């Protein structure tokens, strides 16, 4: 197995995962298929036609059904695409160890004989209801089994990419400990997985899943693909990808269908409550809700499953395109407005933006700018980097006893680069008329989102490659003025503060109120530059 990165945005990446049966572009979704009942639910041929050349199936079920008979998983499924096998951990999670007896070494040996492209060892899942002691046991026992399975993993690693699940459940400190210990096995295991988020996902507790993903991704080797079990909802997939998840699996498409649930980008809906089908997939283009409800249960389930897979496929394509264009943050912002759980998850993701910034690409292959539309945009990695640079710049400007005079210019989002704007040129004319030495001035542009931009870098990305909302929120304006006040409080030399009454955040009355209400303005010259612009 080899994993090659093609594009990056935030902590997400588009990659090529080379396996024995072919090359898989990631991020990728593996539909869960039953090894023997799938033709009744949704035939594999139709799953392939919907764009999925990879599936995951259950080695434990195959072993029980065939009584341990040695077969090849591709023959069992009659499928020549990429196959991943799970070991039965989900059955353990649902039915408990009392009803599901799995020998960890015997099962991985059976998986080896099945010859899948990717295989998961026999881990012990951590339910979200587990006590701390139970969670610790699952983490420790999974690691013990990872070592027990090493002989099989070593001898088959040229044919099978083995997955090491990281357990610990909702106890983030245990997850981190487990990830640290699992990292020691990185020479043997090809992929890692975030273990046991299924129950939290079913409850739409996405913010808890964000914590779980971060705990694992921030520790395991960055060059290893990471899988998320049970990640099968379009609301979660973009968030998980933004945190670095490369592959997903879920049976949500068929389970929802059996419950007459219709998947959308913004949640799931009961078919009986729908008047229209808000989708253009092959199913929704041909039928109305009433048509589906009048069908037999079997036919309706198949068609709903097709629709649900189409929505997941669309989500995967949108996410990959967003990564390639450097617009993954903007996709998350849109998603956060579609459902409270998505909003909660996005706000939790912001908590980890410093870590995300370190992984985010500094370059945008498409050359497209960024959209700054809301308070959430303030936390984009590009703006985090800007604020780090600004702090260093201002520290340099403020040091020593011989400060240069300071000129503050209003930034107009509609007229960029800032140093070529009409307001900036008008302000320079004013300074020139005062016979000022323009080279001596420290020149800063003030504008919400960025707060302050050194004029000499305003041509650079992202200052001139962005679209900024004119309706800056009060919070963003407050942050900008806080930065201005802090700077002026420490400034000992002359300050020329240019205002523009045509910009909401640069009105002369507002600027004087905000600045002079907090600092002594005796050394500040306020000049309006937009009177006849």
pLDDT tens digits, 2-30: 999 999 999 999 999 999 999 999 999 99
The mean pLDDT of 526-531, rounded to a whole number, is: 90
Q: At what angle do helices 340-350 and 328-336 cross, to 10 degrees?
A: 140
Whether residue 175 contacts residue 166, with contact meaning beta carbons closer than 8 Å, is answered with: yes
The mean pLDDT of 284-301, rounded to a whole number, is: 96
- Contacts with 183 (C-beta within 8 Å, 6 or more apart), sequence order: 219, 220, 221
Q: How confident is the model at residue 200 (pLDDT cuts 50, 70, 90)?
A: confident
Q: Peptide bond before 462: cis, by omega within 30 degrees of 0?
A: yes
Of 124, 243, 241, 119, residue with least CA distance to 190: 119
Residue 117 bears catalytic tag: no
Choosing among 3.30.1050.10, 3.30.70.3270, 3.30.70.270, 3.20.20.105, the CATH entry for 2-359 is 3.20.20.105
- How far apart are alpha carbons 108 and 155 in whole angstroms? 12
**For 412, how many CA atoms within 13 A lie in the half-sphere containing its CB?**
21
Give the pLDDT score at 92. Answer: 59
The mean pLDDT of 444-470, rounded to a whole number, is: 92
CATH 3.20.20.105 in the chain, residues? 2-359
Give the pLDDT score at 437. Answer: 85
Of 234, 309, 297, residue with least CA distance to 271: 297
Q: Which range has highest mean pLDDT (82-91, 129-138, 148-157, 514-523)? A: 148-157
Whether residue 468 contacts residue 449, with contact meaning beta carbons closer than 8 Å, is answered with: yes
> 9, 86, 211, 412: which one is catalytic?
86
Instruction: Provide the strand spans (E) within 448-523.
Output: 451-454, 466-468, 495-499
More confident residue, 282 or 416: 282
Give the pLDDT score at 416. Answer: 84
Whether residue 207 contacts residue 175, with contact meaning beta carbons closer than 8 Å, is answered with: no
More confident residue, 366 or 14: 14
Task: Decide if pLDDT at 533 tops 70.
Answer: no
**307: helix, strand or coil:** helix
Task: Decide if pLDDT at 472 tops 80.
Answer: no
Task: Decide if pLDDT at 100 tops 70.
Answer: no
The mean pLDDT of 267-287, rounded to a whole number, is: 95
Percent of the chain with pLDDT over 70: 96
Task: Decide if pLDDT at 126 tops 90.
Answer: no
The mean pLDDT of 34-38, rounded to a whole number, is: 93
Q: How confident is the model at residue 170 (pLDDT cuts 50, 70, 90)?
A: confident
Across 362-392, b (16+ Cβ under 10 Å) vs e yields eebeeeebbbbebebbbbbbbbbebeeebee
**For 193, how many CA atoms within 13 A lie in the half-sphere containing its CB?**
33
């Amino acid at each position: 197995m080899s994993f090659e990165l093609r594009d990056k945005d935030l902590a997400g990446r588009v990659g090529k995962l080379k396996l024995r049966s072919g090359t898989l572009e990631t991020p990728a979704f593996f539909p869960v298929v039953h090894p023997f009942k799938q033709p009744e639910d949704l035939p594999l041929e139709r799953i392939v036609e919907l764009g999925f050349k990879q599936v995951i199936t259950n080695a434990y079920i195959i072993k029980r059904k065939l009584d341990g008979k040695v077969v090849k998983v591709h023959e069992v499924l009659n499928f020549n695409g990429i196959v991943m096998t799970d070991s039965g951990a989900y059955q353990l999670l649902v039915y408990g160890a009392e009803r599901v007896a799995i020998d960890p070494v015997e099962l991985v040996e059976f998986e080896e004989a099945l010859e899948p492209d990717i295989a998961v060892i026999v881990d012990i899942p951590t339910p979200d209801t587990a006590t701390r002691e139970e969670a610790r046991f699952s983490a420790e026992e999974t690691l013990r089994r990872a070592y027990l399975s090493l002989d099989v993993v070593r001898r088959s690693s040229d044919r099978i990419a083995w997955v090491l699940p990281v357990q610990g459940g909702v106890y983030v400190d245990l997850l981190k400990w487990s990830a640290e210990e699992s990292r020691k096995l990185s020479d043997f295991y090809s992929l890692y997985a975030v273990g046991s988020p299924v129950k939290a996902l079913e409850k739409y507790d996405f913010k808890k899943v964000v914590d779980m993903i971060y705990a694992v991704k921030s520790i395991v080797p960055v060059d290893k693909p990471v899988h998320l079990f049970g990640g099968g909802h379009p609301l979660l997939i973009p968030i998980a990808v933004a945190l670095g998840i490369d592959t997903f699996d879920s049976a949500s498409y068929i389970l929802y269908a059996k419950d007459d649930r219709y998947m959308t980008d913004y949640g799931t809906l009961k078919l009986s409550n729908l008047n229209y089908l808000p989708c253009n997939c092959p199913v929704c283009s041909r039928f109305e809700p009433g048509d589906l409800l009048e069908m037999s249960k079997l036919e309706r389930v198949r068609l709903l499953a097709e629709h649900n897979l189409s929505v997941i496929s669309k989500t995967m394509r949108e996410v990959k395109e967003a990564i390639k264009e450097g617009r993954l943050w903007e996709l998350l912002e849109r998603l956060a407005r579609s459902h409270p759980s998505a909003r909660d998850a996005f706000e939790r993701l912001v908590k980890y933006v410093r870590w995300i910034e370190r992984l985010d690409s500094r370059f945008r292959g498409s050359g497209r700018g960024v959209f700054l539309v809301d308070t959430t945009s303030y936390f984009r990695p590009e703006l985090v980097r800007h604020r780090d640079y600004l702090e260093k710049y201002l520290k340099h400007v403020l040091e020593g006893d011989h400060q240069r005079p300071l000129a503050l210019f209003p930034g107009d989002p509609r007229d960029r680069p800032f140093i070529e704007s009409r307001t900036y040129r008008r302000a320079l004319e004013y300074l020139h008329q005062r016979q000022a030495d323009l080279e001596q001035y420290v020149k800063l542009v003030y504008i919400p989102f960025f707060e302050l931009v050194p004029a000499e870098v305003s041509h650079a990305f992202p200052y001139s490659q962005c679209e900024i909302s004119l309706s800056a929120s009060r919070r963003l304006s407050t942050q900008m003025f806080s930065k201005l006040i802090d700077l002026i409080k420490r400034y000992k030399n002359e300050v020329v503060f240019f205002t523009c009454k045509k910009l909401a955040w640069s009105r002369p009355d507002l600027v004087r109120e905000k600045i002079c209400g907090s600092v002594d303005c005796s050394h500040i010259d306020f000049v309006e530059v937009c009177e006849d612009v």
